[in-house]
Amino acid sequence: MSVLSGKGALVTGGSRGIGRAVVERLVADGADVAFSYRADAERAGRVAEETGALPVRADQARKEDLERLFGEAEKRLPGIDIVVMNAAEVGRGLIAEASEETYEQVFAVNARAMFLAVRWAAGVMRDGGRIINVSTLNTAIAAPGVGLYAASKAAAEQFVKVAARELGGRGITANTVSPGATDTDMLHAGNSPEALAQVPAFTALGRIGRPDDIASVIAFLAGPDGRWITGQNILATGGMIL
Sequence ranges of the domains in the chain: 8-236
Indicate whether 1 pLDDT > 70.
Answer: no
pLDDT, mean of residues 150-179: 98
Model pLDDT, residue 186: 78
- Across the chain, the runs of DSSP E, i.e. the strands, are 8-11, 32-37, 54-57, 82-85, 130-134, 173-179, 233-236
State which amino acid sits at residue 177: V
Distance CA 193, CA 107 (A): 28
Indicate whether 147 pLDDT > 70.
Answer: yes
Do residues 44 and 37 touch, judged by C-beta distance below 8 A? yes
Sign of CA dihedral 20, 26, 30, 36: negative
**Residues near 31 by Cβ (< 8 Å), separated by ≥ 6?**
4, 5, 7, 8, 9, 81, 82, 222
Model pLDDT, residue 162: 98
More confident residue, 99 or 194: 99
Indicate whether 191 pLDDT > 90.
Answer: no
Report CA dihedral (226, 229, 231, 237) to the nearest 10 degrees: -70
Mean pLDDT estimate for the chain: 96
pLDDT, mean of residues 69-86: 98
Model pLDDT, residue 216: 98
Residue 189 burial (10 A CB sphere; 0-12, 13-18, 19+)? exposed
In the residue annotation, 149 being an active-site residue is answered as yes
Indicate whether 17 pLDDT > 80.
Answer: yes
Which of 158, 165, 171 has the alpha carbon at shortest distance from 226? 171
The single residue of 137, 149, 164, 174 carrying the catalytic annotation is 149
Model pLDDT, residue 220: 98
pLDDT band at 149 (very low <50, low <70, confident <90, very high): very high
What is the pTM for the complete model shown? Answer: 0.95
**8-236 has which CATH code?**
3.40.50.720
